[in-house]
Amino acid sequence: RGAWAPVAMGHKAVWWLAVSRPEDVARGPEEDAFRRSMRDIAAESLALLAATAAAPSERYPGLFSLDVFAQVIGMFELNNLEIAVASPTEDYFLAVDDLADGTVEKAAVERVTGPLLDALDTGYCAPCEGTGFFALQSCMNSDCDPNVAPLKDDGDRDGACVLVAKRDIRAGEELTMCYVDEAADVDTRRAELADYGFTCACVRCVREAAGEGQQRRGTKTK
C-alpha cells in the first residue's frame, strides 16, 4: 500500500490493453495477437527486472507480479509527459574539474576520465530525455480547448512538469489540458482520445462534429 501511495491517483490500465492499436493492425484476431505479443514483452521485462533486483522482488513479491507491473507501465502509457534532465556525465566531469589542481587525486581520476572525454567529444553534455509521471498533472481532465498546456523550453534540464496558462483563468475554474494534438481535426482527436477510454464530448468537439465553427474562449469563431 505504501509503495502505491505516490501514484495512487494515476489511472492504471493494463499496459497491453492501453497501448494504441497500430494502424496496420486490423481489429479482431490480428489485434488479439498484437496484444498477446505486448503481454509477452511485459512478462519478459518483468523477469529481467526481478533478476536484477532479487532482494526487493523476494521481499515484496506482490509488487513484482505481472498484474501490478502491467498497471504501472499502463499508468505511464496514459499519463506520461516528455521531460529532459541534465547529463549526469557532464556533472561528473565538472566535479572532476573542481578537484584541486596538482593533487594526486585529480591526476589519478583524469587518467581514467581523459580518454572517456575524448571519445565522447561534445556528446558528454547531451541531456537525458525521457518521460515522467507527475501526480498532479495526471489528475487533469482533457479538453480540446484547454486553459493550460505543458511547456518545456529547449534549455530546461530540471525534469520538472511545467504547465502554462493559455488564457485568463477564473478563480475556481477547472484546469484542463488536451491529451492529444489540439490542432488536429475533430475526427482525429476523437480517434486518438478513444485510446483513453472515452469519446470526447467537450464543447469544441461537439461544435466541430456538428459542422459549426469553434468559438475558442477569448477568441473569434474559426
Count of other CB atoms within 10 angstroms of residue 91: 11
The pLDDT value given to residue 208 = 95
Contact indicator for 49, 66 with CB cutoff of 8 Å: no
Q: How far is CA 164 from the centre of its chain?
A: 17
Q: What is the CA radius of gyration of the chain?
A: 23
**Phi, psi values for residue 148, rounded to 5°:** -135, 160
Give per-residue pLDDT as tens, 12-69: 789 998 888 888 999 999 999 999 999 999 999 999 999 998 888 888 888 889 998 9
For the whole model, what pTM was predicted?
A: 0.67
**Does the structure show a pLDDT above 50 at 9?**
yes
The pLDDT value given to residue 156 = 66
